[in-house]
Structure 1
Amino acid sequence: MIAKLKGFVDSAGEDWAIIDVNGVGYLVHASTRTLNEMPRAGEACGLHIETVVREDAITLFGFVDVAERDMFRLLTSVQGVGAKVGLAILSALQPNELQNAIAAQDKTAVARAKGVGPKVATRIVTELKDKVTGLVFQKPGVQMPAGSTPAAPANAGALEDAVSALVNLGYKPTDAHGAVARVINELGEDADVGTLVPAALKELSSIL
């Protein structure tokens, strides 16, 4: 099982790249995000790898960070969501955006991905809602070096504290996470606890 590759970029295409590791070229399929963040041909590169083994093929999927890889694993655990669709979704949404869309049950955001219809988008947000609860919020737009582990954003504590405060008030973790995810879209990623909690409470009162 291949979990990581470090070598040099040999070449790349629309949804693939070849990584040269000690003279052996590995064909790796990847999202647009990962391909855009990879260095140019001939330069050193490291990717996290998800190896998919089937009777007729062994396919490698590469990710610039573990957040994207983990979201790929979650997506492909949903019935009807294969690797191709998973990469399409991750090409349209960054891991943090997808996480918050699922928590907020925003199927429209998920359906923006190529090849994802309303039924599949609904299945994704429904089946993965509980699984994204408690994951560290990642700030959008932060690019990490290939092969690195993304750090939590500066305001991660405020976001987690807001969810914790709602849970302490008796709300379910999934409902609390979803409410915070929804109000973040309106208030912005830098909103503090004092702003997030009242807004989330108002959001929860309107839907529960």
Structure 2
Amino acid sequence: MIGKLKGTVEEIGEDHVVVDVHGVGYVAFCGARTLAGLSGVGEAIVLFIETIVREDMIRLYGFATAAERDWFRLLQTVQGVGSKVALAVIGTLSSGDLANAVALQDKAMVARTPGVGPKVAQRIVAELKDRAPAFSGAGSEESFGLKRDIGGGTASAPVADAVSALTNLGYPRDQAATAVATAVRDAGEDADSAKLIRLGLKALSR
């Protein structure tokens, strides 16, 4: 089982990269974001690898970070999501964006992935909503939990009102939720919506 490759880029294809490790070329299939981050043939590269073994093939999937590999594994636990779809999602959304989409139950963000329709996107955010925090990597656990409450419609009225107000001002919903989560952490859970909006705007302006 191969867990990581460290070598030099020998070839860059449309959906894969060949990594030369001491004279042996390994073909690793990668998402669009990983491939776009490569500067060219001959550069040093480190890929975190997920090895998938089937009756008719052995295939390596490469990721720039361990978090992306973890998401790749997790996505495939969703009904109807195989390696191809999981890789496409990872290639479209960063780990932080994917974590936000799950926390906020934002299927539209996931549906930005080519080949992923609304039904599959809905299954992804729904089935992973109680399992994704460990992979978020964005903000504190308390902040992430609050964003999940906002997405699930269980947040307090002042919090929900503050997020709605910031969204109406033109901020993306995930950014608004992050800002309000920061405001709650600073002002306390008893803060009214006006204070949360003010602190949220301050956080967005940093």
- TM-score range for the pair, normalised by the shorter chain length: 0.7 to 0.9
The 1:102/1:23 distance shift into structure 2, 3 A limit, reads same
What is aligned with 2:76?
76
Aligned length: 173
Task: Evaluate the alpha carbon distance shift between residue 88 and residue 136 of structure 1 in structure 2; reply closer, same or farther with a 3 A threshold.
Answer: closer
Q: Distance in 1 between matches of 2:51 and 2:188?
A: 39
- Check the 8 A contact 2:143/2:182 in 1, yes or no: no
Q: Deviations over 1:105-156 (max 9, x none)?
A: 1111111100001111111111111111344433xxxxxxxxxxxxxxxxx3
Aligned to 1:141: none
Q: Which moved more, 1:36-45 or 1:64-73?
A: 36-45
Q: Which residue in the other structure is 2:106 paired with? A: 106
Q: Is the 8 A contact 1:7 1:22 kept in 2?
A: yes
Amino acid at match of 2:65: D
**Which residue of 177, 186, 202 corresponds with 1:194?**
186
* Contact residue 103 and residue 177 of structure 1 kept, 8 A: yes
Residue 96 of structure 2: aligned partner: 96
2: CA distance, partners of 1:132 / 1:30: 22
- The whole-number CA distance in structure 2 between the counterparts of 1:109 and 1:175 is 18
Q: Distance in 2 between matches of 1:51 and 1:17?
A: 15
Q: Give the aligned residue type for 1:52.
A: I
Q: Does 1:160 align with 2:146?
A: no
**TM (normalized to structure 2)?**
0.73
- The CA deviation at 1:22 is 1.2
Normalised TM-score (structure 1): 0.73
- Alpha-carbon spacing, 1:110–1:195, altered in 2? closer, same or farther (3 Å): farther
Contact 1:107 1:122 in 2 (8 A): yes
C-alpha displacement at 1:163, in angstroms?
Answer: 5.3
Match of 2:7 in 1: 7
Return the offset for 1:82.
1.1
Match of 1:185 in 2: 175
Structure number with higher relative contact order (C-alpha < 8 Å, ≥ 6 residues apart): 1
Select the residue among 169, 175, 180 that pairs with 2:149: 175
Greater C-alpha Rg: 2
| Matched position secondary structure for 2:128 | helix
Q: Is the partner of 2:130 in helix, strand or coil? A: helix
Structure 2 runs not aligned, ≥5 long = 164-172, 197-206
Cα distance change of structure 1 residues 177 and 137 upon mapping to structure 2, 3 Å threshold? farther
Q: Say if 1:85 and 1:115, in contact at 8 Å, map to a contact too.
A: yes
By how many angstroms is 1:196 displaced? 8.4
Match of 2:121 in 1: 121
The Cα offsets for residues 88-109 of structure 1, whole Å up to 9 and x where unpaired, read as 1112111110011011111111
Counterpart position of 1:41: 41
The 1:73/1:8 distance shift into structure 2, 3 A limit, reads same
Helix, strand or coil for the counterpart of 1:33?
A: helix
Gaps (5+ residues) in structure 1? 139-155, 167-172, 203-208
Between the aligned partners of 1:120 and 1:6, the Cα distance in structure 2 is 34
